[in-house]
Structure 1
Amino acid sequence: PSEHFSIDYQGNNEQSASLALVLTKPLDRETMPVHRLVVTASDGGRPSLTGTMELVISVLDANDNAPQFNQSVYKVKVLEGSVLGTLLIKVSATDWDEGINSDIMYLFSRRVAAQVKEMFSMDENTGEIRLQGKLDYEEMDSFEIAIEARDKGSPPLSGRCKVVVEVLDVNDNAPEVWVTSLSVPVPEDAAVGTVVALLSVSDRDSGANGRVRCAVWPAAPFGLVATFAGSYSLVLREALDRERVAEYEVEVRAEDGGAPALRARRGPLDYEEVQVLQFEVRAVDAGEPPLCGNATVQLFVVDENDNAPALLPPAGGGPGPGAAGSAASGPAPGPVSGALWAWAAWGAPAGQGVAKIRAVDADSGYNAWLRYELWEPRGKGPFRVGLYSGEVSTARALEEADGPRQRLVIVVRDHGEPARSATATLSVSLVEGAEAALAAAGSSSSSPGSGPRRAAGAEGGAAPSSSTNVWLVVAICAVSSLFLLAVVLYGASRWAPRAAVLSGPGPATLVCASEVGSWSYSQRQSRSLCVADGAGKSDLMVFSPNFPPPPGPA
């Protein structure tokens, strides 16, 4: 017997009958796709005879199963600012039907907001959800996406799930500092603890990325007091003295707890950091609907002469192995903290370069235009400095009366208002010409990174570099002398005629050296005798011994 089928018997007579296979219970292809039935017919004789027939019934699929997701809710976490195209998650659904009824396509539900569709993309064949917009935790920290899996049957059936995307915060926002109230100017006799300004500090990040620490610079005479979360008071910590300091530039610095930490500060505009500020101003009325207008404002920052010239070390070692100086403001030079070194030769003509002072100013335009002045010695000294080049040269021929060393104080000023300046000292040693050349060569071969040398140490004369230079000069002179001696000996041996030395007692000797009868007399002298025709093929040197001549006849 079968629970799904039954036989409807309709007999017309005893010899024939009509059979009908009747479905008594709905079929489910997913449970049993094939049914095998055996139909048996028997007669009424004795013995009874039977006949059988097997029926194989294949159940055709009907689109009666909707797609089903593995999970009803998917959760995924992603960092804000992730790269576009990042794979967030892959959802999967199954359909128990077969054929076209089991083909599934994935798509966003109709109730998904347009913002979500702009932020994420769905692959309808694979179920992959990828990022196609820029995530910003501060704008939206989570998204809920309704996903639908639909088959291709007729009529199509669908299943649904939900994907929750949690955006993780990244420390991408620096703290913001706002001055909500400012009480200036401050009276000189203001009491300690007087509130000068009220500040508001905020950070759009969350957690440790949004925890802000604040400090004030310079630390005196002001300080910060936290009033409540995100608010500070700038208070007076010390008594003021207008005659000593007439104004203060106070900078409030805020730093968050992220890694890496981001910083912000509120202070005066700095041309060296920002030259142009651009922002938008919007005006909105109170009508219904409200109307608004926008305007773009460009703020150009004008440079102020707030940077003094800075002295630079000599390029490539230069004539001086190091440099130092001190920045100052006002007409008078500040204290000298280091020295440049240079060498000049006695008798050097006027206009000969000795050294070059190099400086730079962080300001721009007229405030960065530098001029160089010789502050010491005053009057008509042996040196001068180029007004705009900074090149130190001889003003006249150097004489012994100028002394073995000259100390020059050079002031570098800008053209700002008020002018700011820096000073440098140049110690020029007056030496012989050869010594000056050797000293300059030794200086240029030294490492540029050897650092500045203090003037006091150089004047002691016991520095290791000075001893090295002395031995270097001695070695060069010795090698040069040996080389010169070798050249002289070689030339003498090469060009002097070869001779034979004859010695023996007796009177002066006459020697014949050629067939034509050339004679030569030699006594305590040497002569070169050779064949008259052509170049000499053999030379003969004749010497008489250094004996006194024999006595003459009586």
Structure 2
Amino acid sequence: MNGVAVRSRGVTTGQVLSLLLLFGVSDWVSAAIRYAIPEEARRGSAVGNVVADLALDLGRLPGRRLRVVSGGNKKYFGVDLTSGALLVNERIDREELCGALSPCSLSFEIVVENPLELYSGTVEIQDINDNDPVFPSSQARLEISESVAAGARFPLESAQDPDVGINSLQTYQLSANPNFALDVQTRVDGSKYAELVLEKELDREEQRELNLVLTALDGGSPPRSAHVQIHIDVVDANDNAPVFNQSTYKASVRENTPSGTLVARISAYDLDDGPNGDIVYSFSSHTPAKVRELFALDSATGELRVKGQLDYEETKLYEIYLQAKDKGAVPGVAHCKVLVEVVDVNDNAPEVTVTSVYSPVPEDAAPGTVVALLSVTDLDSHDNGLVNCFISPGIPFMLSSSLKNYYTLKTEGALDREKAAEYNITITAKDSGSPPLSAVKHILVQVSDVNDNAPRSSQDSYDVYVLENNMPGIPILNVSATDPDLGRNAHLSYTLLQGDTTFGHLFSINRENGTLYVLTSLDHEDQVEFNMMVQVQDGGFPPLATNVSVSVFVTDLNDNAPTVLYPHPNTTATYTDVVAPGTPAGHMVTKVVAVDADAGYNAWISYTLLQATDPSLFSVGLHNGEIFTARQLREDDAPEHTLVILLKDHGEPVLSTSATISISVAEMVKEVLTDLTDVAPANDPRRHVTFYLILAVILVSAAFFITMLSVGIFKCYKWRQSRELYNSSRSTTYRTPGPFHHIDAVRGGFTPPSFYHQVYLTTDSRQSDLLCKKPFTSSPLGSRQGTIRNGEPGLYHQIVGTASRLPTPAEVM
């Protein structure tokens, strides 16, 4: 490990001490390292390679944001990310930083991220011999009576050296003389002071004064020194010197004690009388100036009182040297020592330092995720310096400590940004003093959004009613949805799920706002209901979606007039119903069959007799279209009757149509048939019906031998044909099957209703057949639009199907 050289015991360069203390005490405080460098190291000097000592990957340092964190305003150290070396950034003066304290050290923390780790470190600042010893003054004067006996001691002013250790003041030297020797003493704090020891009694008559040189030396190499001139006046002796009643006094005082508080009272006595017995108390000459600033001594009473502000954290024990001197011509002097112990008071509140904060925190962060690193300090000692930290309850965070005075703020429970987007966490540090002092630190932790909420629709399904024949492109619905997430996670898009490919041509939805449009004009008669699914999807990753069911109902308009099914209005053939002469009143002659493609009231049809050859002879049912004889037929009634029936629906506006009915009054059906054959076309290309019938018999005989597979295919075809007939809502046009013309009186309602008359006519009346009273099977199609049921008056709709012909006689049989 590289470092800056230090001077020590004659060696000009040395190796920096580095100690790596590894202990797994935390998931984020991984290790503690210690270095040592000399003070006044130049800027840019390497302290040590922290990357190598902490076993970090040098290549990953730029991405991990390694940095050095230290207290105070000055940043004494930095890290070179290219080499991993810890460098000196500022001038370091040990005496300025620590004064007389030894050892002197600077603490720092190294923070790296991804993952977040904290390493603590300490750099010991080693002293170099850069200060000379200094005496308070360049000259000192002593008055010593010639009567002083050998062995008397005279304290001398002490020199001060701000260096410590071996570089501090180590000894004193006295210039050669015949009377005095020098005795160097050591205080309890290790500092040195000198006393003159009289070895040979003075003789004023022989020598009135002496000039000595006192030299103070430190332990540096080479040593530094300071000199003071000592001038000694030899005076006549004062026989008795003051005497203290004890040589050492002890006292204790609380720090922050108010100025003027009595600390101790010293007492001395002198057996002399008069001025030689009057005692004056004072500080000894070698008492440090700092002590004189903190304490005051009453020269007359010997009371030692507090003068300045005492601080336990700065100095715990003061050693004060006092003297008592009489007022004789040659004053006698006595010395004593007062030991003042400073008692700690809880006068320092804890200090909380936030080393690093990881914010924002994802709302899906697992419990135990580190959010912040904290350090706590308290300058007091013992219980006054014992600090506990806690946070306010009711939040999903916790504090844990795995190293003294260091805490981690972690998540304790699940976070939910939708409930709380940020937390202003209050951290309280409280010491154990009496009364306790506390400090508060606020940390703002923001919670970042995660796509954990699917879109929510205001309702699960929508029913929309649209009038048929609508304008294309109109909006019919706005699908409303919300997402409690944030940003892209809450950006919603709307799409139609293509369950039915035709819906894409009929409907579209605005992707941004969920407005549903109908692209074409809808027809109630074509399709009444459309069911589709709208998917609402957010923009998160992965995206979340919700499906909403939409049902569009096409409401009916009266846009279809009644359609006459029987008699068919668009045929060249004349449909004639036959009634026998003398038919009584109330006999149903025939029936007008009609349908209306609309629904509800728009499809209710009413029948009225608009025009008749004899209006008194026939009447029509208002709601069913059945034509009855209004009275008994007479012989003088006309043989041919033409009725015009008006059919109206109940819509708004009312739509109508008319049907023409021809009724013949005849005795014999054969006569009617003979007359009817006259209306057949003269040149019908299908007159060779016999040939076709023979050919059909041959083909049917051949089909008898077709395999069972062909039979199955044929039946499948018949089934499909019946389904088409069932699903169709359009009217069936009646036409002549094959070469026949036929009059279908099924709807005529001849009694009984379960029978009908069919008259099959060929172009040759001699080949015509009459089929009578065949059982009538009602159409399997039923009525899609509610034929007279449950007492609905006059509503008679019968959907025959999409086939354009009636069954042939063979099919009926």
Greater relative contact order (Cα < 8 A, sep 6+) = 1
Q: TM-score range by the shorter chain?
A: 0.3 to 0.5
Structure label with greater radius of gyration: 2
TM-score (norm 1): 0.43
